[in-house]
Amino acid sequence: MENLNFRRLRRLRYNPIIRDMVRETHLSKSDFIYPLFVVNGTNIKKEVSSMPGVYQQSIDNIVKECKECVELGIPAVLLFGIPEKKDEVGSDCYDDNGIIQRAVRAIKKEVKNLVVITDVCMCEYTSHGHCGIVKGDEILNDETIELLAKSALTHAQAGADIIAPSDMMDGRVAAIRAILDANGFEKIPLMSYSAKYASSYYGPFRDAAEGAPKFGDRKSHQMDFANSDEAIREIEEDIIEGADIVMVKPAGAYLDIIYRVKHEFGMPTAAYQVSGEYSMIKAAARLGWLEEEKIMLESLTAIKRAGADMIITYFAKDVARWMEKEK
Ligand code: PBG
Ligand code: ZN
């Protein structure tokens, strides 16, 4: 065994201190954005059956959650609203006094040092569960973006710090940017769900947000999961229209897309570890088939390693607590 020519790559793995020194990717609490589901009423905290540890909550409890996030060092929340009444045109979505608008006002009044991001889409607000105005079996694009823009404006007026359109209509970023700018909100950033795939990983979210389509699917606006170049066109278009942060969604099964997007555009890039990714880990952990904390850290680290600058995750509070414990 003399003069064998090989490198001893294990040298840097023999002890934990050295491993720490050469680690390339570090998760930080400031990477995380925590999604929250707001419902009407008071003192409501109802667990989503397919998402253990995730709740629909009334505004009073949402405010408490937000304070907890600040204490844990989580910089931002992403709000989804479930209105009392849904109708054909999703009125609550652009109502000054809608569920999200009231929630944002309450949070802004009571919580300091937290970035409040609002999701803009119509599917939680329409009786048919589609992401826009429906005629026959078609989701109308231009009629919808007008209402999305109206909705974004009411969010900004309520005090939202960042607006996040998740609808995947064409031209929504331009429409939202224009209405915000025309009303003195030129400083509000847009975090666009730019490469959002038509994904079965959203299943549990539809229980949480009660926004499942009553007929048909989302394939006429969300992307085909077989496509990668198309994601580049979607991202490019959103940047041209004024997106400040671009997003890839889902995350875990789309690491190649996150990687490409980060490298081709060099934009602040968000990734959404969606409901199904969370529920799969939770379910396997409950069965004793996976170690929850370890899988949680591995999945989030992989998303960051792929190129995500920030991660929207239902694990945000759990990871933050875990990181605190590990110190
Ligand atoms: C609304 C929206 C969805 C998600 C975020 N915003 C559902 C969908 O498009 O059907 C999914 C989030 C998740 O699964 O965690 N358009
Ligand atoms: Zn939608």
- List average pLDDT for each run of 10 residues in the chain, which is 327 residues long: 87 96 97 98 97 98 98 98 96 97 98 98 96 95 98 98 97 98 98 97 94 92 97 98 98 98 98 98 98 97 98 97 83
At residue 1, the pLDDT reads: 66
Nearest bound ligand to CA 314?
A: 1
At residue 3, the pLDDT reads: 78
User: What is the phi-psi region of residue 168: left when phi exceeds 0, alpha when psi lies from -120 to 50, beta otherwise?
Assistant: left
Compute the distance between CA of residue 33 and CA of residue 184 in angstroms, rounded to an integer: 26
- CA–centroid distance, 212 to ligand 2, in Å, is 9
Nearest bound ligand to CA 129?
A: 2
Residue 124 neighbours by CB under 8 Å, 6+ apart: 80, 81, 82, 83, 86, 93, 209, 210, 211
Residue 256 forms part of a structural domain: yes
Compute the distance between CA of residue 327 and CA of residue 191 in angstroms, rounded to an integer: 32
Among 59, 20, 32, 67, smallest CA distance to 43 is for: 59
Compute the distance between CA of residue 231 and CA of residue 82 in angstroms, rounded to an integer: 29
Q: Are 83 and 124 in contact, with CB atoms under 8 Å apart? A: yes
The length of the chain in residues reads: 327
| Residues identified as active-site | 196, 249
At residue 324, the pLDDT reads: 83
- CA–centroid distance, 20 to ligand 2, in Å, is 41
- CA–centroid distance, 73 to ligand 1, in Å, is 25
Residue 322's CATH number: 3.20.20.70
The residue whose CA is least distant from atom 7 of ligand 1 is 202
The residue whose CA is least distant from atom 10 of ligand 1 is 202
At residue 326, the pLDDT reads: 76
State the pTM of this model: 0.97
- Give the count of domains, the chain: 1
Residue 35 forms part of a structural domain: yes
At residue 325, the pLDDT reads: 83
Residue 13 forms part of a structural domain: no
Evaluate: CB of 121 within 6 angstroms of ligand 1.
Answer: yes
At residue 97, the pLDDT reads: 97
Q: Are 238 and 173 in contact, with CB atoms under 8 Å apart? A: yes
Pocket test for ligand 1, best of 166, 210, 254 (most atoms within 8 A of CB): 166
Q: Are 198 and 222 in contact, with CB atoms under 8 Å apart? A: yes
Evaluate: CB of 123 within 6 angstroms of ligand 1.
Answer: yes
Q: Is the dihedral of CA 186, 113, 311, 24 positive or negative?
A: positive
Q: Which domain holds residue 109?
A: 26-326
